[in-house]
Amino acid sequence: MNSSKKILVSILIILISINNFSQTTNVGSGSYTNSFPGTDSAGRNGFPSGSPQLSGNAVGKPVPTNDWWSKLVKEDHADNLFNYPMTMKTINSGLIVTYIPWGVIGDSAPIEVGLTGLNTTKTTVSDYSDWTVTMNWNDVSHNMSATSGIGMPFVYYEKESDDIVEITVNSGSVTISNEILIIENATNGADFVFYAPVGSTWTQTGGIYTSTLNGKTYWSMAMLPQSTSNVTAVANEYKQYAYVFPSNTTTSWSYNENNSKVTTTFNVTTDVKEGTGTNVLLGLLAHQWDNLAPSSPVPAGYTYDNVRGDIKTLDGNSFIVENTFKGILPTLPYLANYSSSFSPADLQTKIAQIENDALATWTDSYNEGQVMNRLIQTARIADQMGNTTARDKMVATVKERLEDWLTYASGEVAFLFYYHDAWSAMLGYPAGHGQDSNINDHHFHWGYFIHAAAFMEQFEPGWANDWGDMVNLLVRDAASSDRNDTQFPFLRNFSPYAGHCWANGTASFPQGNDQESTSESMQFNSSLIHWGSITGNDAIRDLGIYLYTTEQTAVEEYWLDMNERVFPSSQYSLVSRVWGNSYDNGTFWTSDITASYGIELYPMHGGSLYLGQNLAYVQKIWDELKQYTGILDPNDTNPNLWHDTIWKYLSFLDPAEAITLYNADPDRVLKFGVSDAQTYHWLHAMNAMGQLDATITANHPIAAVFNDGVDKTYVGHNYSDNPITITFSDGYMLDVPANSMATNKDVNVSGTITSDIYEADENDSANLTATTTGSGITKVEFYNGNTLLGEDTTAPYEYNTGALPFGIYNMFAKVYAGTSFNVTNIITIQVGNQVPYSGTPSAIPGVIEPAHYDEYEGGNGQNIAYYDSSIDNQGGFRPNEYVDASTEGSEGDTVGWLSGGEWLEYTVDVQTTGCYDLSIRYASGNTSGGGPIYFEVDGVKVSQDIIFTHTGDWGIWNTKATSNLDLTAGIHVLRLVVTNGEVNLGRMTFSYNAVACTPPGENTGLPFDFETTPTTTDFNNFDGGTATVEAVSGPQSTGNTSGKLAKIVRDGGATWAGAKLELNDGLNFSAKKYITLRLWTEAPIGTKVRMKLEERGNAANAAEQDVETTVTGQWETLSWDFSSLGVTIFNDLVFMFDFGNQGDGSATSTFYFDDIQQVSSLGINDFEKVSFKVFPNPSQSSWTIKTQNVNISSIKVLNILGKKVLSLSPNSRETKIDGFSLKSGIYFAQIKTETGIYSVKLVKK
């Protein structure tokens, strides 16, 4: 594997730079904040209240959350401690111990364990290990601790030497036998036994029993098996374990690629207090005792009845579990063409439906992940089809947003990560479902993000080199495998002994901790497998395999009850929520049983293959789905009925029936986060391959086998840069090329289809040509969608379509070698033109109703006259089109339900060249307002971004006025582009204003010389910065002949304290690329000066750069290069001097500045630092780059998606970039010198 792909945690001493006072931590190309960034406009963004309740050994270590006992960490007391088999509750005077077969503890308090006089205000966590917790009560005079662990029928206590143990028995029959105190039938038929040290005595006073423990400091108690008939005999038998205390518990795992076995070893370190016993008594849960390794000790003791099924006891300090990992895939292979009713053209259309989708700007970390996953699954399919254009659009969309999340900029409050040191957690803003305030669901949310990161590395190799360390922080946050990690707890979400994840950060419900969506937990596990595999990090890969394989066994026991030994009697064969001491079929948003099924299956993708391994169970669930949900009714509109997810699940069993149901319900409402293209691809791939064959494993984790009853399909994906051979357990060997998916059904022939025309008039014909590769080609069939047009058996393979009527034609070919074939790319031929809605272009000046967008002569105008992200018209106006349009009385024919990425086009006739004003009727029911939108003419942006304010409701209309639309006379296509929706648009009125527009950015108000303006009152101070305008005096008068200047004094407040000035207009850096100012300060050389540009009223929309001072006590000119921004809507200048340090009001925290300008080039001293000559530009083949006085150390050439296409390291002042292999278009050269990194645009003709 290429070393550039290796991101090995074991050698990754993450190279981070930490700003002063640790506000921002830079990690690779990413960063996060260590200071709370504040709330957004809706008051979102939070963090856990209070401080963790820790003491003793637990202090100083990362705070553990998301465990069965985590309420102890957050609250003064916990009333939901279910350790299996006991139930516990902490109170001021000690610990209540009881047995609750099901549900909450309520007021059950049969036994209270404490010390005489003990009265605390809270219980703290003083120690913990992989499956135990030690609770502590300390009121200064008295000190007691209790240790409990999952599956352990004992609780172990310790105290100070002068404390007296006090047991209060509120129910049950008590018997004392020397040092043993027996309580029979304490509650729900349970018997308990206390073991004091040998020689101890118990003293009774009413229902209170006390003991000095014979001068010792330890004692224990046990709950006896419910089936116990001779209590005294079993109590004495258990005495051998009573004085063997667990001092530590650990879980370790290993994955053997050769046989796909995952081995997990559980160990207990003991502290023997007295006696000859050396073993503890362990209770093994069903997912453990049913999967023991051949070499493991086996439980031979008593069995406890429990909400998790039988707990079988083992006399010992160690046991070993062995499971088999059965493989995952990134997506199913592209074999759908062997499914009889599959149409590549239909799949292409479904991909086109979402390829332009933007990601919402109003979202949260959970919803964001789902929608990214929708694009990811679709992009992978587009890649399989050779549709690189659609793939790259979706890659670019995911890349931009993912990198936004992975980068923090000062002042932003959305799309960022905040490390909360007190709670040892990485919080993502905006959060959802308590991900921030309660540390809920981190594995759910981060699973989507980590999966997206693996996707980025797959399609942009090297991405992980820049961003991988930030992604690894998310891995560590949810599942750090290092017990010595200083930032995050060990396996936060995963409980190694319970075998599954817990979702609630602080176990805040009376029922205990919980987990709802096991399928999203499994997605997190699969994301680690993909991420570890593609980055060459075997530790993360194997962690993912351990989690995936282990949690699968727990899910199959406790959520799905596949072995029918956990749910005693249930109407349904699965539950949607497992609680600490119960389970149910509810969800956190509804009690609808339909949702209960869906939440255990969603999202369905190549990481979900575990769901198809037990076909008998799939049949059982399918039978229930037919009985209890509306899945067979194409008219069922239940929003909790996630058709696509259920159909994909059904395809494990009967893909043909799934396809039939899919075809019968084309107008279903898609669940948020679901891709119709992926459903279509999945169902037909399963139909082509048959059922999953989990009996066959592989020596490579990204592999699977399918069996249609006649033939097997072997599938493997190779993320590495070198070809591999995958060996399956039945002996089959599959060669997989580098960075590819392969199957044994792949054919070594392929082709590319072209046409002599792509846009045609009615009745024109097209000449199709298929250029093929490979040998043994027997024929080429030409198709239009599902229709076979004809075939050619000899090269060159050609076909003439004959006269084509109006319409869109998706043409492709099948290249055959015998009965096997491959499908070419798909080309689109458009017959007919885009024409004005009314038949004639709309006149400007004039009024255009938004719903009067152009139409297409051939029918539906999607992707021709408009793009709409949904395929249903929710408004009803022009019902055969997808645009959501409606007639709204006096407002006319409007458009609504807008989403980012959508656009509409209007053929217009501009009467006069000049500058136009525009007024738009609009309504926005979003309290944060809507937009922005903007306009283009013939592909050139002619307006600024237009933002709309809240109008009070979706039916309350206002007018938005904007200006400076530069239009040229004649017939043009005007495009309305939606960057973000949340607005309904009404009549658009264009009016002539002037002969020429003031270029964007020319009316900002710059330059500022402070002689008359701005004044002191024009500054907006923030967070400890105070700005004034004053007369120039010594020593600042030396080197400055101005009469006035500005001054900012930073005194206390935040490390980003400063002040801002408002501009009249948005800045335009198309020609004037730099902001400069003159600065005088006594702050030391190297002081950081941050210039931030903001959109007024939306500080999260900003750009910023830092420079450092080079002198002290004299004037210098500083410059910031914003050339990459072009035209902006940034209309605030924010000054943050000595950024990262807190000011103290002294001379070194005082900054004088003057002459703020926007310039096209720099003064001679500054320009020499960044002066490059690039020629020829544009160029047909190569560019020469020369610099005057510094060496060029490296150059990276990026395409418009930001993907690196060339790199070189000249280490000279002149070099040549060979662009012969590059396609025509725009590129950017990132040039690195000793003075910094600079960007130059390159144009390839």
Whether the predicted pLDDT of 1199 surpasses 50 = yes
Whether the predicted pLDDT of 3 surpasses 60 = no
- 245 beta partners: 271
pLDDT tens digits, 729-754: 999 999 999 999 999 999 999 999 99
Question: Is the domain of 1028 the same as that of 891?
Answer: no
Question: Is the domain of 1028 the same as that of 1152?
Answer: yes
Whether the predicted pLDDT of 318 surpasses 80 = yes
Q: Pick from 950, 966, 987: which residue ends a domain? A: 987
pLDDT tens digits, 67-94: 999 999 999 999 999 999 999 999 999 9
Domain assignment present for residue 344? The answer is no
User: pLDDT value at position 665?
Assistant: 96
Confidence band, pLDDT 50/70/90 cuts, at residue 145: very high
Question: Is the domain of 818 the same as that of 856?
Answer: no
Question: Is the domain of 1035 the same as that of 1131?
Answer: yes
Whether the predicted pLDDT of 227 surpasses 80 = yes
Q: How high is the mean pLDDT of the chain?
A: 93
Residues in the chain: 1245
Q: Pick from 1167, 1202, 1227: which residue ends a domain? A: 1167
Domain assignment present for residue 1138? The answer is yes
DSSP track, 729-794: TTS-EEEE-TTEEEETT--S-EEEEEES-SEE-TT---EEEEEEESS---EEEEEETTEEEEEE-S
Residue 739 maps to which CATH number? 2.60.40
Which residue among the candidates 112, 166, 383, 516 is catalytic per the annotation? 516
Whether the predicted pLDDT of 19 surpasses 50 = no
Whether the predicted pLDDT of 1227 surpasses 60 = yes
User: pLDDT value at position 1174?
Assistant: 79
Which residue among the candidates 75, 403, 441, 902 is catalytic per the annotation? 441
Confidence band, pLDDT 50/70/90 cuts, at residue 1111: confident
Whether the predicted pLDDT of 1125 surpasses 80 = no
CA 77 to chain centre: 34
Domain assignment present for residue 322? The answer is no
Question: Is the domain of 1156 the same as that of 1187?
Answer: no
Residue 485: active-site member: no
Q: How far is it, in rounded angstroms, from Cα 531 to Cα 376?
A: 14
pLDDT tens digits, 704-722: 999 999 999 999 999 999 9
pLDDT tens digits, 1026-1082: 999 999 999 999 989 889 999 999 999 999 999 999 998 888 887 788 999 999 999
Q: How far is it, in rounded angstroms, from Cα 849 to Cα 985?
A: 9
Task: State how many domains the chain has.
Answer: 5
Mean pLDDT check: name the lowest of 219-228, 926-935, 1149-1158: 926-935
Mean pLDDT check: name the lowest of 85-99, 1015-1029, 1181-1195: 1181-1195
Domain assignment present for residue 1083? The answer is yes
Which residue among the candidates 179, 520, 644, 1154 is catalytic per the annotation? 520
User: pLDDT value at position 939?
Assistant: 82
- What is the pLDDT averaged over residues 811-823? 95
pLDDT tens digits, 1147-1160: 999 999 999 999 88
Instruction: Name the percent of the chain lying above pLDDT 70.
Output: 96
User: pLDDT value at position 997?
Assistant: 78
User: pLDDT value at position 1237?
Assistant: 63
User: pLDDT value at position 999?
Assistant: 67
Question: Is the domain of 795 the same as that of 726?
Answer: no
pTM strictly above 0.75: yes
Residue 974 maps to which CATH number? 2.60.120.260
Domain range spanning residue 761?
750-831
Domain assignment present for residue 300? The answer is no
C-beta separation of 1226 from 1242 below 8 A: yes
CA distances in angstroms from 594 to 568, 624, 668, listed in the order given? 22, 10, 16
A 10 A CB-CB count for 702 gives: 23
Residue 849: active-site member: no
A 10 A CB-CB count for 914 gives: 18
- What is the pLDDT averaged over residues 812-839? 95
Question: Is the domain of 930 the same as that of 1039?
Answer: no
C-beta separation of 885 from 878 below 8 A: yes
Q: At what angle do helices 643-651 and 655-664 cross, to 10 degrees?
A: 160
User: pLDDT value at position 1211?
Assistant: 84
- What is the pLDDT averaged over residues 992-997? 86
Confidence band, pLDDT 50/70/90 cuts, at residue 7: very low
Whether the predicted pLDDT of 1235 surpasses 70 = no
pLDDT tens digits, 680-694: 999 999 999 999 999
Question: Is the domain of 1152 the same as that of 1202?
Answer: no
Question: Is the domain of 794 the same as that of 897?
Answer: no
Domain assignment present for residue 1023? The answer is yes
Residue 520: active-site member: yes
Confidence band, pLDDT 50/70/90 cuts, at residue 4: very low
User: pLDDT value at position 1203?
Assistant: 65
Domain assignment present for residue 1190? The answer is yes
Question: Is the domain of 1123 the same as that of 1102?
Answer: yes
In terms of DSSP bridges, do strands 1172-1175 and 1088-1095 run parallel, antiparallel, or are they unpaired? unpaired
For CA atoms 1081, 1083, 1087, 1090, the dihedral sign is negative
Question: Is the domain of 823 the same as that of 849?
Answer: no
Where would I find the beta strands (DSSP E) of 502-636? 514-515, 577-579, 582-584
Question: Is the domain of 908 the same as that of 973?
Answer: yes
pLDDT tens digits, 192-214: 999 999 999 999 999 999 999 99
Domain assignment present for residue 14? The answer is no
User: pLDDT value at position 16?
Assistant: 36
Q: Pick from 1134, 1167, 1200: which residue ends a domain? A: 1167
